[in-house]
Structure 1
Amino acid sequence: MEIVVDSPTSPAVRQLLEDHLRDMFATSPPESVHALPPEKLADPHVTFFSVRDEGVVVGCGAMSELSPAHGELKSMRLIESARGKGYASALLTHLITVARERGYERVSLETGAEDFFAPARRLYERHGFTVTGPFAEYTDDPNSVYYTLAL
């Protein structure tokens, strides 16, 4: 397995992100979907990573810089066949390491409150993230859960 900086608009990644967006809109009301399309993940303030196994993209995640002291995790996703095999923990650990290397004091994220997102919430909590209130441009939303990890 390798985790590399990648382009969210590359053909190898695009389908994964389109599947992610489709699931988000199928699970949450449109106003509660905060996943970004590939073009927005290509913003200079966002670093996009893919997880590859023998050259095949099995997952992705991104780090957005909210300020010099605060990063946000975006678009963590694995293909279904890669779930439960440690890729998500490896990716999350990598993203936390990147945040520390950048000198962030904290890293935050938004995920869904629906049962569909329970495995993601458990992953974040296992890695030390705690539930917090909205941050950055987010607002109170019963369909969202906000997490922060102090670094």
Structure 2
Amino acid sequence: MRIVVDDLSGSEVIGLLEDHVAEMLENSPEDSMHALDVAALRKPDITFWSVWEGDELAGCGALKEHDPGFAEIKSMRMTTAFRGRGVASLLLRHIMDQARARGYTRLSLETGSGDFYAPAVRLYERHGFEHCGPFADYTDDPHSVFMTREL
């Protein structure tokens, strides 16, 4: 597996992100859905990575800087073919390593609260993330789970 900084121009990556946003809308009320589209992921405060096995896309994820000591994980998504194969853990460790290298001391995330999101919550818990309250511009929402960890 190789993890690369991605410019969000490839059709496979764009398709995966479009599927991600559509699936989030299917599983969360629209006003509680915080997935970013391709245009939002191209902003300068976000670094986006894709994961590849050979020439096959396995997944993606991003890191959004909120301030010099604090960043947020965004758009973690694995392709169906690669789910359950450890790709999400590999990418999450990579993002955490990148966050440490950049000097962030805290890394947080928001995901959904429904059953659909339970595997994601378990992934983050396995990697030391703890439940917390809303951060950045988020507000308390019964459809959201907020998690954080010190680095």
Q: Smaller-chain TM-score range?
A: over 0.9
Over the aligned positions, Cα root-mean-square deviation in angstroms equals: 0.7
- Number of residue-to-residue matches in the alignment: 151
CA distance in 2, matches of 1:32, 1:80: 24
- Once the two structures are TM-superposed, the CA of residue 55 in structure 1 deviates from its matched residue by 1.9
Residue deviations 1:31-77, cap 9 Å, x none? 00000000100000000000101122110000000000001000000
Counterparts of residues 1-150 of structure 1 (less than 5 Å): 1-150=1-150
Q: Which runs of 4+ in 1 moved over 2 A?
A: none
* Contact 1:7–1:13 (CA under 8 A) maintained in structure 2: no
Q: Which runs of 5+ in 1 are unaligned?
A: none
Provide, for residues 78-130 of structure 1, a one-character-per-residue CA deviation record: whole Å limited to 9, x for no partner: 01110000000000000000000000010000000000000000000000000
> Structure 2: where are the runs of 5+ without partners?
none
| Counterpart residue type for residue 31 of structure 1 | D
Q: What TM-score results when the alignment is normalised by the length of structure 2?
A: 0.98
* 3-state SS of paired residue (2:40): helix
- CA distance in 1 between counterparts of 2:146 and 2:48 reads 21
Aligned partners of 2:95 and 2:128: how far apart in 1?
A: 13
Residue 149 of structure 2 aligns to a residue whose secondary structure is: strand
SS state of the match for residue 48, structure 2?
strand
Identity of aligned residues (%): 53
What is the CA-CA distance between 1:9 and the residue it aligns to?
3.7
Q: Secondary structure at the match of 2:97?
A: helix
SS at structure 2 position matched to 1:116: helix
